[in-house]
Amino acid sequence: MREITDYQQQIAQAVEQFIANNKEESLYAPVNYILSIGGKRTRPALLLMATDLFDGDSNEAINCALAVEVFHNFTLLHDDIMDHAPLRRGNVTVHERWGINEAILSGDVMMVQAVQLMMQCPDGVLRDVLEVFNVTAVEVCEGQQMDMDFEKRSDVSIAEYIKMIELKTSALLAGAMKIGALIGGATKVDAELIYEFGRNLGISFQIKDDILDVYGDQEKFGKQVGGDIIENKKTYLMLNALALAEGNIKESLVEWISKEKFEAATKVSAVKEIYNTLEVREHTEAVMNKYYESAISNLRAMSLSEEKKAPLFTLARQLFERED
C-alpha cells in the first residue's frame, strides 16, 4: 500500500498542471496563487488513498481529488476575507494582495471549477459522487454560517461548537474519503465507516487547530498565533474557559472579550494566562483524544486487511501529533 506522501505528490502534480492550464487573466491570478502557496493536500490525498484501499485505480479519481483541493482552497479564500486574516500558510492572503472584490470573484470561479472537475468521475458512480459532494459543499457553507453567527452570540454551547466544526471542517475530509471509496468500489457499509472515520478525525483535527492557534509556533503553524483570541472566536478553548471560569477570573475573561480597543499581544498573553490557570488546554486535549479514538474505532471496523489500513493508522497519528 502506498504512503500518504505518495498521494500528496500525485495531487501536487495535478495541481501544478491545473495551474498551468488556467487562463492568465486577472480573474485566475488569485486562484493560481492560493493553490501554489502550499498546503498539505491531505483531503485530496485521502480521496486517492481511499480509492486504492478498495482496489480501485487512483488515476481514475484524480479529477475528483483535484476538485476537493480546489473547493477547499475556495473556502479558505472566502474564510480569510470573513476573518480579516492577514496570513495564510505564512503568505499574504488573497484579499490583502488583490482586494476583497477580486478575492470574492476568484473564489466564486473556483467553486465552479471544482464542480466541473468532480463531474469527470467514472460514469458508474457519478450520481452518488455528486450527491456526496453537493451535500458536503452545503454542509461546509452551513458550518461557516454557524461560525459567523457565533460571533454575534454570547450563549454558544460546546455542543453547538462541535456541530459547527463537524460541518465546516470535518465534512469535507469525510466526504472526500467517501467519494474515493465509492470510486474504488467499496460496499455501502465500508463507505459509511470511512466517512465516519473522516468525520471523527476531522473534528479532532480542528480541535487540534484551536490548540495550535494559541500554543503553536507561528513559523510552523503558518497563521497568526493568537488570532482566534484577538477575534474573540468561539473556539473550544474559549467556550471551555467561559464554562469553567468563576469570580475574578470570569470577570477578567469577559472584560477582555468585551474590549474594543486593546494591544493585540497583551490580550493574547492575558487570555492565554487565564487558559493556563483553568487548565483549558488539558480539558481540550481530552476531547480531542476522544474523537481521535472514535476515528480509530471506525477504521478498525472496516473490512480491509490490517496491511491496507496501516497507512491510515499512520496518517491519523501524524494529524493527531502535528505542530502545524
Q: How far apart are CA 74 and CA 66, in angstroms?
A: 12
What's the pLDDT band for 136 if we cut at 50, 70, 90? very high
Q: How far apart are CA 77 and CA 91, in angstroms?
A: 12
Question: In CATH terms, is domain 4-321 a member of 1.10.600.10?
Answer: yes
Mean of the pLDDT values across residues 262-284? 96
User: Above 60 in pLDDT, residue 222?
Assistant: no
Mean of the pLDDT values across residues 257-285? 95
User: Above 80 in pLDDT, residue 284?
Assistant: yes
- Give residue 218's pLDDT: 65
- Give residue 324's pLDDT: 66
- Give residue 216's pLDDT: 85
- Give residue 223's pLDDT: 61
Q: Where along the chain do its domains lie?
A: 4-321
Cβ-contact 86, 217 below 8 angstroms: no
What's the pLDDT band for 98 if we cut at 50, 70, 90? very high
- Give residue 252's pLDDT: 97
What's the pLDDT band for 224 if we cut at 50, 70, 90? low
User: Above 90 in pLDDT, residue 212?
Assistant: yes
What's the pLDDT band for 90 if we cut at 50, 70, 90? confident
Mean of the pLDDT values across residues 89-117? 96
- Give residue 308's pLDDT: 92
The pLDDT tens digits of the residues spanning 171-182 come to: 999 999 999 999
% of the chain beyond a pLDDT of 90: 82
- Give residue 140's pLDDT: 97
User: Above 80 in pLDDT, residue 38?
Assistant: yes
What grid cell was written down for 153? Answer: 452570540
What is the rounded average pLDDT for all residues in the chain?
Answer: 94
Mean of the pLDDT values across residues 58-80? 97
What's the pLDDT band for 227 if we cut at 50, 70, 90? confident
Phi, psi at residue 92, to the nearest 5°?
A: -60, 135
Pairing assessment for the beta strands 91-92 and 87-88 based on DSSP bridges: antiparallel
Q: How far apart are CA 221 and CA 88, in angstroms?
A: 10
Cβ-contact 73, 109 below 8 angstroms: no
Mean of the pLDDT values across residues 102-116? 97
